[in-house]
Amino acid sequence: MVSLSVYFESPFWVGMLEIVEDGELRATRFVLGSEPTDPELYAFLMRHGVALLERAETAPAVPVEERGDRRVNPKRAAKLAARAAARVTRRGTAAQEAVRLEMESAKGEARVNRRERERAGRAPPRGGPPQADRAPSRPLTAGGSVPSRSGGITPGRPRLSPS
């Protein structure tokens, strides 16, 4: 495909002849001087067109990317940009990144170990009652009082004795 563009590049009008073949672009630029009218441009191309095509053919080829003719709605473009930004992981300091990687590694190892225990039939039930060999996390005191975090004793629910 061959195309000719004429544009103003101060102080002269310039022509650009482009040839696109097999995904490569070759181009040549020429100065026209004052603004050409359509008949003047036609006459110029009839006189110098072959020489311009030969110059363009000998120019180095540049790979050209196909551009989509579709324009993206600005709201859609903003939505896509927000999604792309959300996918980017936030990386803090090198120490934070190292801790994050260590936690992910430990999580993966725990998952593998749990699956192995479940396959061997030794897995403790998840979320079940505490096992008999474990002590309660906060011991009860006499009279149903529970030790508070500050060290004093706060009244708890009274225990019902069997009648």
Q: Is position 156 within any domain?
A: no
For residue 67, what pLDDT is reported? 62
Q: Is position 6 within any domain?
A: yes
Q: Is position 26 within any domain?
A: yes
For residue 111, what pLDDT is reported? 93
Other beta carbons within 10 angstroms of residue 15's beta carbon come to 19
Measure the CA–CA gap between 129 and 138, rounded to whole angstroms: 16
CA of residue 71 relative to chain centroid, distance: 21
Across all residues in the chain, what is the average pLDDT?
A: 77
pLDDT in tens, 54-95: 988 888 888 877 666 678 899 999 998 888 877 665 666 666
- pLDDT class of 110 with cuts at 50, 70, 90: very high
- Are 57 and 17 in the same domain? yes
CA of residue 24 relative to chain centroid, distance: 30
In Å, how far are 29, 33, 52, 64, 68 from 55, measured between CA atoms?
9, 19, 5, 19, 29
Number of domains in the chain: 2
- 106: domain range? 89-123
Q: Is position 111 within any domain?
A: yes
Q: Is position 56 within any domain?
A: yes
- What does the pLDDT average to over 115-132? 69
pLDDT top residue among 107 and 131: 107
Query: 104 pLDDT exceeds 80?
Result: yes
Q: Is position 114 within any domain?
A: yes
pLDDT in tens, 6-52: 988 888 898 888 888 888 888 888 888 888 999 999 999 999 999 99
> Sign of torsion, CA 141 147 151 153?
negative
